[in-house]
A and B are shown apart, each in its own frame.
Chain A
């Protein structure tokens, strides 16, 4: 497992975020179970995991809105657990909910958050111009936020979350409910922020978005189960072959693959099926399984070996975590 060996070391004040042994319990349920990681400055750090795995709880602790039961956390070199007020002016936060006032205009929303961060008139004028250009909202300053499309609202939310020019931006599922084109545009904006030196801490369960990150950490049931650069994670963690199956009777083929000997995992990936083949299989694996599937009654099945995606990695990691 490519899990970092940071546990027990002192937190690193040079990092944008440095977490050691962070634990959060709700009653008897342990939401975050002793995690350690460092986020270097200027990076896009992807924090991945299924719903309920502890992503949002971690962000709450890192933004000083929720106290951990144990552990340390430095944000921009400051102890965010005991003195969140020292660093709140320096980071920003954007959630899936966008946190805009829909009965207020674009201008009024910007002005409100400028007041919250106590910007001077000059700072506000400069940031207002930047946000309006960035979000493509010139000419819509006086439009009610409720009347904007989701893509625009999302960009405005990014604008209000960065109105005070934070050094670090937390993004909690920022692209939820947004169409793929708008998501693509949004990631361009994130790249732009990163190029200006802003550190981005992004949670998502979209695997294609994970590929955009410089570094990834997978959290599952409150524990980090893998960490690293996307490319390495893909290469290191999947020694197995992944077959992509196209077939009309998807449900039937899935049921067959799940119990087929030699298949480690089978799951839906878009409209197709992915099957992870146990290590050690040799010969014409694609030909073998094509023949076996056709014999089993799936005459139209066609198979192709694919490069494992992060989703494959993730399913695999979760399966391993559940077994252990």
Chain B
């Protein structure tokens, strides 16, 4: 019972700190949403609905069919049609479109004659990403379209299409068929954010207590070390789970993130992962001589490995082998696998138990190291 009183005194105190420190609170609560918007929209790797203007000077059934292929694509959004080239400057200047496709007169005739038809595509270079991707897609579209025309033409002539080598390669992406980067990013981003919140705050808050002398005061009190730790990390565990819920909710409602697998496994994984991150935070706080060092170490050990060595930004298979070995020293890689597995692949305990076990073992080891380092420090 006395343990409970002491732990709750500690937890209440931590919440007071948190409520007084509006900046940290805002960072912890708003950061996930901001980062999601940033990653899922601004740094999105997919370009959709690029505003496009079509100038069809041919006006034949063939040119109209070609124009329709743009309209039916998700990547282009037809904002209008025009009849003269001068319209290009106009729409670019008024930011009405990023791409202008000009179908020259004679397009239908050339296709019918089996000749190579040319289409001019104008790109607004002032927005490089959209322009570059737009370029790639319109080229691809042209190729597919051109090929189809060629195929139809060849077929009509009675030639063996396969023999002519006109096979169209089909690439299928599983789990994320549209290759939406948000589907891929959000489960990983969740891991990064939980890592930063749990690790950073634990590392910093213990060092702060040491600097202001309250750590020493508590050390001579009847409060036991584990009671202090539990009381101190409880609010951060709660916040980490709050962030998890916010990210999941925003992901599902705003980004159509599928949640296909076991929520229980996700929660279990998240809980173990939070303990791992808290343990790392405690290790930092035990070795960091000052608040600045704790901050730097916290950032270094939470952000970098979670970004680079977790499979979040780069697939683990594509990084050098020695880095893959190092990545096992950070819990994020296991959690990214769990998170993506549950969200995208519909995985459950049967598929993810190795990662769960790894996180569990990691938590035990890192918390033991933290307690040992902490104990050594107090000698």
A interface, CB within 8 angstroms of B: 63-67, 85, 88-89, 91, 93, 95-104, 108, 111-118, 161, 170
Nearest first, the 10 A-B pairs at minimum CB distance are A115-B9, A97-B213, A99-B217, A63-B220, A103-B20, A88-B222, A99-B213, A93-B220, A118-B2, A118-B5
Q: What A residues does B118 contact at CB under 8 A?
A: none
A65 and B5 form a contact (CB under 8 A)? no
A95 and B217 form a contact (CB under 8 A)? yes
14 additional A-B residue pairs with CB within 8 Å, beyond A64-B220, A95-B213: A65-B220, A88-B220, A88-B222, A97-B212, A99-B212, A99-B214, A101-B17, A104-B20, A113-B221, A114-B9, A115-B9, A116-B6, A116-B10, A116-B223
Across the interface, name the chain A residue whose C-beta is closest to B219.
A65
B221 and A116 form a contact (CB under 8 A)? yes
B8 and A115 form a contact (CB under 8 A)? yes
How many of B's residues come within 8 Å of A, CB to CB? 26
Q: What B residues does A65 contact at CB under 8 A?
A: 216, 219-220, 378
**Contact pattern, B 5-26, Cβ under 8 Å of A = 1, otherwise 0:** 1101110110011001100000
Q: What A residues does B221 contact at CB under 8 A?
A: 88, 113, 116-117
- Pick from A91, A102, A104, A118: contact of B6, CB under 8 Å: A118
Which chain B residues numbered 210 to 233 have a C-beta less than 8 Å away from chain A? Answer: 212-214, 216-224
A116 and B220 form a contact (CB under 8 A)? no
- Kindly provide the distance from the CB of B330 to the nearest chain A CB, expressed in whole angstroms: 32
Q: What A residues does B172 contact at CB under 8 A?
A: none
Across the interface, name the chain A residue whose C-beta is closest to B4.
A118
- Kindly provide the distance from the CB of B224 to the nearest chain A CB, expressed in whole angstroms: 8
A115 and B220 form a contact (CB under 8 A)? no
What are 22 inter-chain pairs, A to B, with CB distance below 8 A?
A65-B216, A65-B219, A89-B222, A93-B217, A93-B220, A95-B213, A97-B213, A100-B212, A101-B13, A103-B16, A103-B17, A104-B17, A108-B16, A111-B9, A115-B5, A115-B10, A115-B12, A116-B6, A116-B9, A116-B222, A118-B6, A170-B220
The CA-CA distance from A170 to B216 in the complex, in Å, is 13
- Pick from B10, B21, B222, B378: contact of A117, CB under 8 Å: B222
Q: Which of B6, B12, B16 has the most A CB atoms < 10 Å from its CB?
A: B16
Across the interface, name the chain A residue whose C-beta is closest to B8.
A115
B170 contacts the other chain (CB 8 A) = no
Q: What B residues does A89 contact at CB under 8 A?
A: 222
The CA-CA distance from A118 to B224 in the complex, in Å, is 13
Across the interface, name the chain B residue whose C-beta is closest to A93.
B220
- Pick from B13, B220, B378: contact of A104, CB under 8 Å: B13
Q: Which of A65, A101, A114 has the most B CB atoms < 10 Å from its CB?
A: A101
B379 contacts the other chain (CB 8 A) = yes
Q: Which of A64, A91, A111, A115 has the most B CB atoms < 10 Å from its CB?
A: A115
The CA-CA distance from A105 to B92 in the complex, in Å, is 60
- Kindly provide the distance from the CB of B15 to the nearest chain A CB, expressed in whole angstroms: 11
Q: What A residues does B218 contact at CB under 8 A?
A: 116
The CA-CA distance from A11 to B379 in the complex, in Å, is 24
- Kindly provide the distance from the CB of B14 to the nearest chain A CB, expressed in whole angstroms: 10
A103 and B21 form a contact (CB under 8 A)? yes
Which chain B residues numbered 21 to 72 have a C-beta less than 8 Å away from chain A? Answer: 21
- Kindly provide the distance from the CB of A41 to the nearest chain B CB, expressed in whole angstroms: 19
Q: Which of B9, B17, B21, B218 has the most A CB atoms < 10 Å from its CB?
A: B9
The CA-CA distance from A102 to B20 in the complex, in Å, is 11
Q: What B residues does A102 contact at CB under 8 A?
A: 212
Across the interface, name the chain B residue whose C-beta is closest to A102.
B212
B17 and A95 form a contact (CB under 8 A)? no
- Kindly provide the distance from the CB of A49 to the nearest chain B CB, expressed in whole angstroms: 19
B222 and A95 form a contact (CB under 8 A)? no
Q: What B residues does A98 contact at CB under 8 A?
A: 213
Across the interface, name the chain B residue whose C-beta is closest to A161.
B217
Across the interface, name the chain A residue whose C-beta is closest to B11.
A115
Across the interface, name the chain A residue whose C-beta is closest to B20.
A103
The CA-CA distance from A108 to B214 in the complex, in Å, is 14
The CA-CA distance from A117 to B223 in the complex, in Å, is 8
Across the interface, name the chain B residue whose C-beta is closest to A105.
B16
Q: What B residues does A114 contact at CB under 8 A?
A: 9
